[in-house]
Amino acid sequence: MDILFLALLLAAGMAFLNAQDQRRRIALLGQYLSPYEIETLMENLTQGYLRALSEDDPARREQIWGVLAPSEGSIASQLSRFAADFAKVDAPSARVSKLALALPWAARWLPGWTLDVRQLFALHAQGVADAVANRAQRSPRDKAFTLSAELFLLQHTCHWYCRSRTVASARLLGRHQTRHEQVLASVSPQTRQAYGALTGL
């Protein structure tokens, strides 16, 4: 009975510390994201791509691609500035656990099992910029597919930083009906390789 009580007490303490740590992370990320319209632009692009892909008239489809181009440029620019801003965050605050579940203060207790989210945000900014610039000369459909995957992976990283990798993957599946593995398979090879080197995934 004493062992059960101690286990419950330990679990409650861990949950409390975890909640505190997550609130701090959410506030910090929100502070750096607030000057930008990245989430709104992402939603507009996702909806616009769906409209374009469901359009039967080629001329109308091309018109929609053209209307979306300024939003693509804007999100690439804003994400680049956000990554540069977030790079100023101190190292301990920027570290996140590589473990599937969140552990409070993992950066202090298990530094070898953490990664620097500043590097991930810089990677996402580069991946989105490359997809928008379309250096690989993808078709409009394939460009939209790749850019969507790059943005979904960015969103996954934001949720991972604020909560945990497991929660991030669950939210990705719930919001976009897409598994993390599917997103990784859909980003550019350069993003996939660099992401794997940083995360071990």
Q: How far is residue 193's CA from residue 147's CA, in Å, rounded to a whole number? A: 16
Confidence of residue 112 (pLDDT cuts 50, 70, 90): confident
Write down the pLDDT at residue 7.
59
Write down the pLDDT at residue 19.
66
- pLDDT tens digits, residue range 9-48? 565 556 566 667 788 898 999 999 999 999 999 999 999 9
Q: How far is residue 38's CA from residue 24's CA, in Å, rounded to a whole number? A: 21
Domain boundaries, given as residue ranges, for the chain: 2-39+74-199
Three-class SS state of 119: helix
Single pTM value for the model: 0.90
Is residue 130 within 8 Å of 188, Cβ to Cβ?
A: yes
Q: How far is residue 9's CA from residue 7's CA, in Å, rounded to a whole number? A: 5
Strand locations in 92-174 (E) = 95-97, 114-116
- pLDDT tens digits, residue range 1-10? 567 656 565 6
Task: Compute the average pLDDT of residues 109-134.
Answer: 92
- pLDDT tens digits, residue range 51-102? 998 988 889 999 999 999 999 999 999 999 999 999 999 998 998 888 877 6
Report the greatest alpha carbon distance in the chain. Answer: 73
Is residue 133 within 8 Å of 120, Cβ to Cβ?
A: no
Q: How far is residue 172's CA from residue 157's CA, in Å, rounded to a whole number? A: 10
Q: How far is residue 67's CA from residue 153's CA, in Å, rounded to a whole number? A: 24
- Alpha carbon separation from 146 to 20, 115, 128, 131 (Å, rounded): 36, 25, 9, 7
Write down the pLDDT at residue 20.
72
Write down the pLDDT at residue 15.
59
